[in-house]
Structure 1
């Protein structure tokens, strides 16, 4: 029997409810999946045949511990998905610049390194933006994220300066299309599986459920699916041919073009509940790699 560690966080020791179908699908295929807390330093990761990163949703709050854990995975005998090199690359949102250089339409972004003295008003003026979203380059779940109109730039400068004292930062042009929902396209082993649309609460821009966001199954047009697949192909090229086992491609549609907000390769919620066959597709892709 194949022993598979499903890496999770201390707050979610039994994984999230949405992963139950994936666990069942692995068992149906003769594997023995076990939720294991990533930050538990007593775990011998090499004792497992494979490690699949799932709900390690607190990793961005512990960047040094996360980096050390990825290093341990890199030296373990287990197969790891997504692999350590992918986790390192995708864990910092500068990867968006790499994908933009490969021709992927990405939201307009200013990348600012920690410790840099940047005036938010100057960014608005130089870019010609009316509104922006500011976020840490290592984050999840809208952590320390703000939507800031141009007129509030001076009032928010101290907040930005404090954030920059601690973290690398992204300043992105606000996408008004987000009020109609953000598309999440899910790909397993490079193939489209399913999609959901995440809609923010009225008056908000954050689509996460903890901020009032709603999720529903979606049926994107074939061209949008193809554009999402091009994102996965660009990721694969950037990672020297290492195709992600799982990828969630998040973005908005503007003038018929899918514009990338993020591609989630570390610990994305995969919304198995949106498609009854989705968990089986990922289980088949995983077992096919073992």
Structure 2
């Protein structure tokens, strides 16, 4: 009998609804599942056959500590997703790598900490009237805001405070985001289901804690194919297939345009599609049984 841990944050130590469904599906394969808080120094990670990074939703607030934990745990047991996938995916400049492999990504100016341009200059350089500013290491729309040329000067101090600590992405604001976005889910490279996410009125961020709504929905075939191409591009970049992945994007002029690829701790939407938990459990068991 295999024994795996779901790495969580202290806030979700009792497992999320997603992870309860995945744990139940794994138990049907005689796999024992225990939650374990990633910041708990008392956990013996080597006691598990594998560790799945699941609801470590505070990782971006202590990224150095998290990366050290990833290195330590992967030296003791198997970690999914893999350390290389996690470290690559933790900094959103990975979008540049995906674009280099032909993935259609939202237009982005990658601002490193040494880039001294003003926010207004970044907008001018790209001929953008509106944009979204976000830290390169972020989750859950934390420290993400919308700006435009009229407000760029008043946002400059906020922009400089962020840039002083980390790299930044400035992305062209895409009005279609008001109509919602797609989240496409994959288990071991295979598409399982899709979620349609819509922001609250007057907002552009679809997260539930900001008033957004989520529903199971069937995407157009071209959107599904584009999402698969994103996972294929990540697989080529990493030299391995992620165990689980979520691709977020929107339709712009009939083209699926990627915002993010989450390989670290994505919500997987099993409450909307329970059968997908079984597909991921099958993928976990297949990997556990590999020689």
TM-score bracket relative to the smaller structure: over 0.9
1:216-235 equivalence runs, <5 A: 216-235=215-234
Question: Would the aligned equivalents of 2:270 and 2:277 in 1 still touch at CA under 8 Å?
Answer: yes
1:232-247 equivalence runs, <5 A: 232-240=231-239, 242-247=240-245
- Per the alignment, residue 204 of structure 2 pairs with 205
- 2: CA distance, partners of 1:50 / 1:18: 18
- Per the alignment, residue 26 of structure 1 pairs with 26
1:172-211 equivalence runs, <5 A: 172-211=171-210
- The two structures, once aligned, show a CA RMSD in angstroms of 0.9
- 2: CA distance, partners of 1:156 / 1:194: 39
Question: Would the aligned equivalents of 1:117 and 1:161 in 2 still touch at CA under 8 Å?
Answer: no
Relative to structure 2, which stretch is displaced further, 113-122 or 61-70?
Answer: 113-122
Deviations 1:48-79 (A, max 9, x none): 00111100000000111101101102211x22
Segments ≥4 residues shifted beyond 2 Å:
none
Deviations 1:96-141 (A, max 9, x none): 0000111100000011112432211111111111100000000001
Give yes or no for the alignment of 1:169 onto 2:204.
Answer: no
**TM-score, length of structure 2 as denominator length:** 0.97
- Per the alignment, residue 262 of structure 2 pairs with 264
- Per the alignment, residue 147 of structure 1 pairs with 146
- 2: CA distance, partners of 1:182 / 1:256: 13
- 2: CA distance, partners of 1:24 / 1:278: 12
- 2: CA distance, partners of 1:221 / 1:125: 35
1:28 Cα deviation from its structure 2 partner = 0.8
Question: Would the aligned equivalents of 1:251 and 1:262 in 2 still touch at CA under 8 Å?
Answer: yes
- 1: CA distance, partners of 2:36 / 2:249: 31
1:199 Cα deviation from its structure 2 partner = 0.5
Question: Would the aligned equivalents of 2:17 and 2:271 in 1 still touch at CA under 8 Å?
Answer: no
Question: Would the aligned equivalents of 1:99 and 1:234 in 2 still touch at CA under 8 Å?
Answer: yes
Q: Where do 5+ consecutive residues of structure 2 fail to align? A: none
Give yes or no for the alignment of 1:111 onto 2:105.
Answer: no
- Per the alignment, residue 214 of structure 1 pairs with 213
Q: Where do 5+ consecutive residues of structure 1 fail to align? A: none
Deviations 1:214-264 (A, max 9, x none): 101110011111110000000000002x10010000000112211000000
- 1: CA distance, partners of 2:131 / 2:227: 24
**TM-score, length of structure 1 as denominator length:** 0.97
- 1: CA distance, partners of 2:67 / 2:52: 16
Question: Would the aligned equivalents of 1:115 and 1:166 in 2 still touch at CA under 8 Å?
Answer: no
1:270-281 equivalence runs, <5 A: 270-281=268-279
- 2: CA distance, partners of 1:286 / 1:177: 36
Q: Give the secondary structure class of the aligned counterpart of 2:232.
A: helix
- 1: CA distance, partners of 2:63 / 2:20: 28
- 2: CA distance, partners of 1:39 / 1:182: 33
- Per the alignment, residue 67 of structure 1 pairs with 67
User: What is the aligned residue count?
Assistant: 288
- Per the alignment, residue 6 of structure 1 pairs with 6
